Amino acid sequence: MGRALAVFLWVMTLLSVWMFLSGKWWFPRSISEHGPAYDQQFVLTIIVVGVAFTAAQLALGYAVWRFRDTGGGERAVYSHGNNRMEMLWTAITAFIFITVAILGQRVWAGLHFQPAPADSSRVRVLAQQFQWNFHYPGPDGKFGITRPEKISDESLNYIGLDDADPASKDDAVVGTLVTQVNRPAELILSARDVTHSIWIPPLRFKQDAVPGLEIPVHFTPNRVGRYEIACAELCGQQHYKMKSYMLVLPPDEYAALVALSQAQFQSRVTELYKKYPVSY
């Protein structure tokens, strides 16, 4: 029984490690500036925990094989432990864990500890059941005021844009996130009903959109294309298909697009969808 258990543990370990190494199931290729640093940290961590995992399982397998009772009647080693060893591995794991913990703040700090660079493009995001609304300020660079009491799904005013506000005249509200390649993008996230979470796997980025809060975040996409946006916080029965796209455009296309007014913006996005099929 001990040998069978050992073999199982070893095989299971091998298969698990294979699953990670095979590359069959991996992140989509990174499309953001912090992506490679993220991947690096992930790989580092996976190696550390992978080694620990493998070592622990192998040792466990070895122990159950080697120390199984073979019926000779002799007794186990009588020992209550070993304080020096205890100290040793506590110190080693503490060292490893703290190091990993500190390294694990790098990407986070880069993204979250400083405000968006001044040249960022800005988009306000108002999530709702079950769609994403992206609000662009238009050529004047100013967001029109939004008011909850103006929200009306019937008249397609999903975010409650106040048309009495002059700044709102050139604003566009569409269901697609448009960013410019290699330029920082700032999103100001909020939600109008329940908590949602914007999740763009190749971007290595996710952030909750919380009602009542405006959460500014920023990142820099660096590969042109179209990518899927998913909702990562349970928001109701159609959470599973609260889907949208992020377009990462070359500068000229981007500039031309965000200057358009609502109606043209929308139809231009549809054209761009054809030009940029989803690809990973």
Partner 1 sequence: MADAEIPQEHHDEAGHAHAAGHHGPPTSFIRKYIFSIDHKVIGIQYLLLALFSVFVGLVMSVLMRLKLTWPEHQWPLLSTIFGDGAPNGVMTPELYLSLVTMHGTIMVFFVLTTAPQGGFGNYFLPIQIGAEDMAFPVLNMLSFWVTFVGLVVLLAAIFAAGSSVVGPTGGWTGYPPLSAIGHLLNVPGQDWGLNLWVTSIAIFCVASLLGALNFITTLLNLRTRGMSLMRMPLTCWSWFTTAILALLSFPVLLAAGILLLLDHNAGTSFFVPGGLSNGTTVIDHQGGSPILWQHLFWFFGHPEVYIAILPGMGATSHILSTFARKPVFGYRAMVFAMFAIGLLGFFVWGHHMFLSGMSPYTGMAFSILTLSIGVPSAIKTFNWLGTLWGGRIRFTTPMLFAVGFVSLFVAGGITGLVLGQTSLDLSMHDTYFVLAHFHLVMGVAAIFGMFAGVYFWFPKMFGRMMSEKWGKVHFWPTMVGVYCIFIPMHAMGVVGMPRRYSQFTETVNGKTTHIYEFLTSTDPLVLFVTVSAIVTAVVQVIFFWNFFYSLFRGPKASDNPWEATTLEWVTATPPPHDNFGGRVPTVYRGAYEYGVPGAPEDYVMQTTPDEEAAPAGALGQGGLHGQGNGHGNGHERHDG
CB closer to ligand HEA, 93 vs 152: 93
Contact 187, 199 (CB under 8 A): no
User: Which residues form the interface with ligand CUA (CB under 6 A)?
Assistant: 127, 130, 196, 231, 233-235, 239, 242
Q: Among 206, 222, 259, 272, which residue sits at the site for partner 1 (rule: CB under 8 A)?
A: 206
Q: Among 49, 164, 255, 256, which residue sits at the site for ligand HEA (rule: CB under 6 A)?
A: 49
Closest CA to 172 of 197, 148, 140: 140
Please report, as residue ranges, which positions from 79 to 118 form the binding site for ligand HEA (by CB under 6 A).
93, 96
- Min dist. Cβ of residue 176 to ligand CUA (A): 16
Q: How would DSSP label each residue in 192-251? A: SSS-EEEEEGGGTEEEEE-BT--EEEEE-B-S-EEEEEEE-S--STTGGG--EEEEEE-H
Sort 95 into a burial class: Cβ within 10 Å, 0-12 / 13-18 / 19+.
Answer: exposed
- Min dist. Cβ of residue 133 to ligand CUA (A): 12
202 binds partner 1 (CB under 8 A): yes
CB closer to partner 1, 106 vs 268: 106
CA diameter of the chain: 92
Distance CA 78, CA 85 (A): 16
252 binds partner 1 (CB under 8 A): no
Which one of 45-53, 115-123, 134-142, 162-170 is the stretch in contact with partner 1 (CB under 8 A)? 45-53
25 binds partner 1 (CB under 8 A): yes
- Min dist. Cβ of residue 230 to ligand HEA (A): 13
Distance CA 280, CA 278 (A): 7
